[in-house]
Structure 1
């Protein structure tokens, strides 16, 4: 029996054989005095990290996963943007093969296919050459069991509603995104099983008085969780504050949309088969289009906390319990007995001091084992 105890912080937590256990057990105890112990952070939109782009190099998925505990992430959705079928197949095969011997890192909860069934006019940084219309043939075999956890789709496209029904019945979380849909078309998608919106306010029409569109639908429909990139670049602070007030902590999903630029210096990088430029915290195509982010999840939480004035518990819930519940994995995102032994330990500024995944300390250190 393996165990790990974290004591002296905001809460005392004991992890036995990979799960949170009640009571006190034998084993090393790490002193977290003056620190806050959080459930492990979960990022449902990770395009890459540490110089690795998952669409361009899907077979390097486990390397990206190994890099993420540095940023407090203990579980995530590797995200493949609009690309060749070969990229999606390689990602599925790599996920199914499992990690290499001796590997340790954040656990991939399944793949997020962001595209290719998206609106050409709202493709953002997605390459137009790989866009395809929704079809039963395209999504044949896409299921949660096969490793597809989430699919982003534009519901106004011909055939999209039937595809949404198919995916939802296969256990896939369907997200509305990269879309020109009306509010009524979003509602129709939700009626068919869509449950989320991908990066609210980006790659979709703005909210207008007589045309609420996907933003209005997302804010108003209690059935939807809205993904938000709170990196300080994708949304104006007033916009973020207004939307947070409308959504509340229970329906706001904090994601990074991070790319290969995470952890890398400014300069050239990649998003799929496209060149991007990292400069002063932004990632953009050469024409200036935003192309994901270079932000860590704790950095986004700092922006969210300062913008909304929410409590730390509410802010952290946006990438722990909200994320876990959306993908149907309620063993994560909380510190209750029986939950996964995933912990992110931070200081008052939300800088990551240590990350524990399944009861193993994978990043950082804690003062004075005792």
Structure 2
């Protein structure tokens, strides 16, 4: 996906991209005008259930269409997320990823699959269909590894057998995230001791923090080993809650995710999440019983909410969607504009509206030119 030479000039920083990577200097090539704009590293979203009317659990074969839609929202790399579902959905998603994109394709780069479930607590299943829930076991996760395309797995650490599964997945370079859980702090700590490194959408699908019952929220805030995902879409968490979480976590552990669904970029109306019908209304995505079922938000919108709730700087907000996810995935080539990094960047205005997105040195979106 690398191009020739591209010079991004006139913005908050000047960047040169040569052969798909940030270069110290270059001459010639195309020029991308960034006057009056912030030049940021490309954004990474580690929880993307779908976009543009496409649900990835229901139609994993359309992965590359979802990936092609994401640059308009500043996303240059992401984790396609498969929720609790029939085993075949996971198998199909991994097969599509392994087969690679079709000829001539361009878009945000999938960095592996995020399997959210099926090893989650029934009482905290949220919008996950209960008939596909499963207890952790060696057989269930046989073959799940980073090399096989599984980048992240969300599970509940209190389930029988969960800690052994955490150990097995961590040894295979899979990021284990704790979520959809009722775990006691001791169980969260035990999972981190075994290699768990993240928490999925803090404050959602888990009990609330209480003075004598800290639960998974208190454990996540207190454990510096855990990178903590937060859905700051204006619906999943109250702004004061966002501010409290951000203050406790600091800029190095707060991971901004969208949990976006097929509703991203679509009008209000019926949609899907896996094999379930959902309704999109006024920015929310819900099951027919009213349960929140992912979001319709894009990542810059979440960063906007984060800044409004916390008063943090642009750099601090952007870090939650660049350096923090890149570090969690162990990929120093992303989330930065340092020489040698991938040539992925996004141009935004002061309100974090995406103006242009570059992936691998190619301009894949520029609202000024209709792309």
| Partner residue, 2:194 | 192
Q: How many angstroms apart in 1 are the aligned matches of 2:29 and 2:279?
A: 47
* 1:23 CA displacement: 1.9
Q: How many angstroms apart in 2 are the aligned matches of 1:260 and 1:231?
A: 15
Contact 2:229 2:256 in 1 (8 A): yes
| Partner residue, 2:278 | 276
- Give the one of 44, 47, 50 matched to 2:49: 47
| Partner residue, 2:92 | 90
Q: How many angstroms apart in 2 are the aligned matches of 1:245 and 1:229?
A: 15
Q: Deviations over 1:156-194 (max 9, x none)?
A: 000000000000000000000000100110000000000
Q: Deviations over 1:36-86 (max 9, x none)?
A: 000000000000000000000011101100000011100000000000000
* 1:24 CA displacement: 3.3
- Specify whether residues 365 and 25 from structure 1 end up closer, same or farther in structure 2 by C-alpha distance, changes over 3 A only: farther
| Partner residue, 1:146 | 148
Contact 2:5 2:26 in 1 (8 A): no
| Partner residue, 1:15 | 17
| Partner residue, 2:79 | 77
| Partner residue, 1:336 | 338
Give the TM-score taking structure 1 as reference length: 0.98
Q: Deviations over 1:222-262 (max 9, x none)?
A: 00110000000000011110110000110000000000000
| Partner residue, 1:177 | 179
Q: How many angstroms apart in 1 are the aligned matches of 2:184 and 2:333?
A: 36
Map 1:158-169 → 2, pairs under 5 A: 158-169=160-171
* 1:25 CA displacement: 2.4
Task: Say if 2:127 is the partner of 1:125.
Answer: yes
Segments ≥4 residues shifted beyond 6 Å: none
Contact 2:199 2:228 in 1 (8 A): yes
Task: Say if 2:354 is the partner of 1:355.
Answer: no
Q: How many angstroms apart in 1 are the aligned matches of 2:367 and 2:257?
A: 26
SS in 2 for 1:316: helix
- Specify whether residues 215 and 184 from structure 1 end up closer, same or farther in structure 2 by C-alpha distance, changes over 3 A only: same
SS in 1 for 2:67: helix
Unpaired segments ≥5 residues, structure 1: none
Unpaired segments ≥5 residues, structure 2: none
Q: Deviations over 1:172-225 (max 9, x none)?
A: 000000001001100000000000000000000100111111100111110011
Q: Deviations over 1:2-61 (max 9, x none)?
A: 110100000000000000000232211121100000000000000000000000001110
* 1:366 CA displacement: 5.9
User: How many residue pairs are counted as aligned between the two chains?
Assistant: 367
| Partner residue, 1:302 | 304
Map 1:303-318 → 2, pairs under 5 A: 303-318=305-320
Contact 1:79 1:112 in 2 (8 A): yes
Contact 1:32 1:366 in 2 (8 A): no
SS in 2 for 1:64: helix
Q: How many angstroms apart in 2 are the aligned matches of 1:30 and 1:87?
A: 40
| Partner residue, 1:229 | 231
Give the TM-score taking structure 2 as reference length: 0.98
Contact 2:18 2:26 in 1 (8 A): no
Q: How many angstroms apart in 1 are the aligned matches of 2:89 and 2:233?
A: 27
Q: How many angstroms apart in 1 are the aligned matches of 2:74 and 2:9?
A: 18
Q: How many angstroms apart in 2 are the aligned matches of 1:246 and 1:25?
A: 46
Contact 1:31 1:366 in 2 (8 A): no
Q: How many angstroms apart in 1 are the aligned matches of 2:26 and 2:13?
A: 13
SS in 2 for 1:124: coil
Q: Deviations over 1:103-147 (max 9, x none)?
A: 000000000000000000000000000000000000000000000
